[in-house]
Each structure stands twice: as structure tokens, then as C-alpha cells.
Amino acid sequence: MDLSLYTADVFTGQPFGGAQVAVLPQAAGLDAALMQRIAAELALPNSVFLTATGVAGQHRIRIFTPREEVEFAGQAVLAAAHILAVSGQAPADGALELLHGFGPVPVRLGPMQGRTGFVQFSRTVFPVVDRFVPTADELAGILSLERRALGERDLQPLLVACERPYLILPVRSLDALRGARFDAAAWAGSHAPSMLAQELLLFCRQTESPEANFHARLIGPDIDAREDPPVGAALPAFAAYLAAQPGLRAGTHTFTVERGFDATRKSLLHAEFDKRGGGGLTLRVGGQAVQVIRGTLSLPD
């Protein structure tokens, strides 16, 4: 059996930048076990499997890392929509609906320029925010940083969960963020494992790109020290973190998050959220995407 296989670099307009995602746009008939084996073989941060539902512009989506299936990842949504566009499977009006296990995610496609285009999705999430986090000394030990490298005057560490929990930590500089190293022994000896968050989202206001408001980086017990994984899955939690700040007024707020560096694979994630009364937070996330590879995956019949 031969399957069409694409890769896209997302949150970037340039090949070999941003987050790498594999997309199989015609995955009908594949079971979860085979999808997982394919994702492990491709060994990219995310592999996306799409199945048309028969409704125009609507596809079921499943997302796998090389190790496991995940419910949601912003970079995977952008890649899936972009590949549907470049392969001629998107409606003329650019409106798509990707059906996840938790429900539909609407997506809008912007004008295409060759293999590059802008994609934006919207979601309403219901975050849970917890201010009980490890002490500053514990956090500094986990990150292999001095205590003075942590925090901002107006921003404090929080535990924020949408589908999955993230421990979100401000640091004072880009050098501190880049120099952080996860210390497994300090982690095991702290209160952090009891919070269930297995990934820490570090961010700072200092950025390499002038258009970015924040630089972000994920680290954790299952992330290799040499990795700088995509942050699209954590963006709803980060938006909820910003919305939870007591000094932030009600209304619509926009921000841009930078991940990576010019010398590696920089991503720029453009986001906005609506801070209103009630428990839900409406979030819109967009970015450029570019097709890099088009080929065939051959499976035994």
C-alpha cells in the first residue's frame, strides 16, 4: 500500500525553519498501532494522519509523536491545513474543520504564494490555573540556574492546564532561558512531580526577533537537553497564563511568541485571545507554513 506523504515547516515562511511536521492526508484504514509505528519511523516531532469525513472541508485528525498519540498540537493543525491546501483538498473559501478527539477545531487558510501560506486556527479552552508551585529555590535547582535568574516583577510561576498541565516559569533574560538545563535529581527531590506537569514552559520578554513579545522554550524529564521542541501545544496554556494576570484588562490581546533562534529553527507564533467573564478563553493562533517534502510512503500489503 502506497500513501502520499508530505512534510511542512510551520510557524515559518522559510524551508528548514520552524517546526517540522509530517502529514499523511489520506490515512483512511490505518489503525492507531500502525500510525504509531509510522510516526516512530519518521522520527519527527509530530506526524499527522487525516481522514476525510465526506463533509466538505472536514477531516478527522490524529497526531502522534515518535512515542505516543497526543490530543492537540498547534503546529500539527497548521501543517495539516496547509498540506490540504497545497494538495488541492481544501475548499475554495479556505475554511476547514479538523475533528480532534475533544471536538472540532476551525481553521482558516490565507492566500497561498506557491508552497507557502498563512494558516490560523481558533479554539475555546477552559483552563485550570493553580498558584501552588515549587519554591523559587526548588525551581532554580530544577533549571540549573541561580535563583536571581528567575521571575519578573509582575509575572510569577503558575501551573496551567488545558488538555495537559504545564508549569509556566518566567526567567529574566534570553541567556538564562538558553542556559537552563533540566536537573532530574533536583526534580525528583522537589514538589514538582506531584503536580502532574511533566513539561516546563520557560519564557522571557527578551527576544531575538523584534516582532516577538516573548521567547519560549520547553524542557522536562522526557525532553533531551539538546532538543528545543515546538511550543504550539503549550500555547493555549500560555495564553491562559497571560489572561490570569491580575493587571490585564478585559478585551482582546495579541502577542507573538518566538521559539528557537536564527542559527537553528526559529518559529514565530502569532496569537490573540479574548479575556472575558466566565470560564472559557477564546484563542486564535496563526503562522506561516511551507511545504518541504512530497513523496510516497510504501507499506506492506
> In CATH, what number is assigned to the domain containing residue 102?
3.10.310.10
The per-residue pLDDT for 276 is 85
pLDDT at 275 over 80: yes
Q: Which pTM value belongs to this model? A: 0.92
Q: Choose between 197 and 186: higher pLDDT.
A: 186
The per-residue pLDDT for 27 is 95
pLDDT at 21 over 90: yes
The per-residue pLDDT for 81 is 98
> In this structure, are 88 and 177 located in the same domain?
no
What are the residue ranges of helices labelled H in the chain?
Answer: 32-42, 74-86, 136-143, 174-179, 184-188, 235-243
Residue 284 in any domain: the answer is: no
Q: Which domain holds residue 11?
A: 2-119+289-298
User: For 64-84, what is each residue's pLDDT tens digit?
Assistant: 999 999 999 999 999 999 999
> In this structure, are 192 and 162 located in the same domain?
yes
Residue 111 in any domain: the answer is: yes
Distance, CA of 3 to CA of 188 (rounded, Å): 43
% pLDDT > 70, the chain: 100
Distance, CA of 133 to CA of 166 (rounded, Å): 11
The per-residue pLDDT for 194 is 82
Q: How many domains does the chain have?
A: 2
> In this structure, are 91 and 110 located in the same domain?
yes
Residue 114 in any domain: the answer is: yes
> In this structure, are 132 and 265 located in the same domain?
yes
> In this structure, are 97 and 237 located in the same domain?
no
pLDDT at 114 over 90: no
> In this structure, are 87 and 27 located in the same domain?
yes
Residue 14 in any domain: the answer is: yes
> In this structure, are 178 and 252 located in the same domain?
yes
Q: Choose between 132 and 149: higher pLDDT.
A: 149
Q: What share of the chain is helix, strand, coil (3-state, %, to 5)?
A: 20, 40, 40
